[in-house]
């Protein structure tokens, strides 16, 4: 189910990019992101828009395919959410900020058993979320993340971390001391990846010790 959803999401992205690109050629500029797909479809469906008559039926095919994919993805999302609520481990994972039903079920389906790793850092390294080390002469230098391991899980954790950091940036008084301090000192994208790393370690701890997430104190 998760793999099928991923396939549909990739197909949806292709159709969104195609529709946006074609409309750009006709002077219609729409912001990127799935949240603005409705605007693309509205332009195609609007008889008052000055799209060329020969282009309109072709664009309508893309728009209809996009709407069909949206419905299919929503159907799978509901099924995934239902299964996540019925699984005790998934329910505990969803208490972590940034971890929703899709990420929780993906972790259960795609990640090895927590006992495979000695500690949370090893799990984060398997996901490719730890920085490369370039150390010499007693000086530690950290590079970019390795991007090794399970790509789908890494992407989901980064998306969840991005959502959490956006909320923390808007409401810093409600963010944890660690996240608020990082946002005050570092670029948000760097903080997002660091928070995804932290999320991976928390996920491992909850799965390895059958624990429940406890939110840290606010800043």
Instruction: Express each pLDDT in 93-135 by its tens digit.
Output: 999 988 999 999 999 988 989 999 999 999 998 998 887 554 4
- pLDDT > 80? residue 136: no
Which of 40, 39, 48 is closest to 19 using CA atoms? 40
pLDDT value at residue 56: 93
pLDDT value at residue 215: 73
Does residue 133 share a domain with residue 58?
no
pLDDT value at residue 135: 47
Q: Looking at the domain assignment, is residue 219 inside a domain?
A: no
pLDDT value at residue 90: 92
State the number of CA atoms in the 13 A half-sphere of 101 facing the CB: 16
**pLDDT tens for each residue of 47-96:** 888 899 999 999 999 999 999 999 999 999 999 999 999 999 999 999 99
CA dihedral (201, 203, 206, 209) positive or negative: negative
Distance of CA 78 to the CA centre of its chain: 17
Greater model confidence, 22 or 173: 22
Tell me the average pLDDT across 12-20.
94
Q: Looking at the domain assignment, is residue 136 inside a domain?
A: yes
pLDDT value at residue 128: 87
Q: Containing H/E element for 102?
A: helix 101-110
Q: Report residue 143: phi and psi, to 5°.
A: -105, -155
Of the residues 31, 57, 83, the one at which a domain ends = 83
Of the residues 51, 83, 115, the one at which a domain ends = 83
**pLDDT tens for each residue of 142-180:** 445 555 667 889 999 999 999 889 888 888 777 788 888
Q: Looking at the domain assignment, is residue 215 inside a domain?
A: no
Which DSSP category does 96 fall into?
Answer: S
Of the residues 56, 83, 110, the one at which a domain ends = 83
Does residue 100 share a domain with residue 78?
no
Q: Looking at the domain assignment, is residue 26 inside a domain?
A: yes
Does residue 189 share a domain with residue 106?
yes
The token pair at 82 is: 């239902």
Q: Containing H/E element for 66?
A: helix 56-86
pLDDT value at residue 219: 47
- Neighbour-count burial of 70, counting CB atoms closer than 10 A to its CB (0-12 exposed, 13-18 middle, 19+ buried): middle
Does residue 196 share a domain with residue 128?
yes
The token pair at 141 is: 């230098």
pLDDT value at residue 141: 46
Greater model confidence, 136 or 216: 216
pLDDT value at residue 142: 43
Q: Looking at the domain assignment, is residue 27 inside a domain?
A: yes
pLDDT value at residue 25: 92
**Which residues have C-beta within 8 Å of that of residue 110, sequence separation ≥ 6?**
2, 150, 152, 153
Q: Looking at the domain assignment, is residue 18 inside a domain?
A: yes
pLDDT value at residue 87: 92
Does residue 165 share a domain with residue 111?
yes
Does residue 130 share a domain with residue 68?
no
Does residue 22 share a domain with residue 52?
yes
Does residue 124 share a domain with residue 20?
no
Does residue 103 share a domain with residue 33?
no
Does residue 168 share a domain with residue 114?
yes
Domain that holds residue 78: 2-83
Domain count, the chain: 2
Q: Looking at the domain assignment, is residue 37 inside a domain?
A: yes
Does residue 203 share a domain with residue 107?
yes
C-beta neighbour count of 10 within 10 angstroms:
9
Q: Looking at the domain assignment, is residue 140 inside a domain?
A: yes
Does residue 142 share a domain with residue 99?
yes
pLDDT value at residue 151: 82
């Amino acid at each position: 189910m998760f793999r099928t959803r991923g396939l549909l999401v990739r197909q949806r992205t292709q159709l969104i990019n195609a529709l946006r690109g074609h409309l750009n050629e006709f002077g219609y500029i729409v912001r990127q992101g799935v949240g603005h797909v409705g605007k693309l479809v509205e332009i195609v469906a609007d008889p008052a828009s000055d799209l060329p008559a020969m282009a309109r039926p072709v664009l309508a095919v893309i728009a209809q395919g996009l709407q069909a994919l949206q419905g299919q993805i929503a159907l799978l999302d509901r099924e995934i959410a239902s299964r996540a609520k019925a699984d005790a481990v998934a329910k505990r994972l969803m208490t972590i900020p940034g971890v929703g039903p899709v990420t929780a079920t993906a972790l259960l389906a795609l990640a090895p058993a927590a006992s495979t790793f000695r500690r949370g850092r090893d799990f984060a390294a398997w996901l490719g979320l730890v920085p490369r080390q370039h150390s010499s002469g007693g000086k530690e230098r950290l590079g970019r993340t390795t991007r090794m391991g399970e790509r789908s899980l890494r992407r989901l954790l980064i998306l969840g971390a991005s959502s959490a950091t956006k909320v923390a940036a808007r409401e810093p008084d409600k963010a944890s001391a660690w996240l608020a301090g990082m946002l005050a000192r570092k670029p948000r994208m760097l903080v997002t990846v660091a928070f995804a790393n932290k999320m991976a370690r928390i996920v491992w701890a909850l799965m390895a010790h059958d624990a429940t997430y406890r939110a840290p104190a606010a800043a």
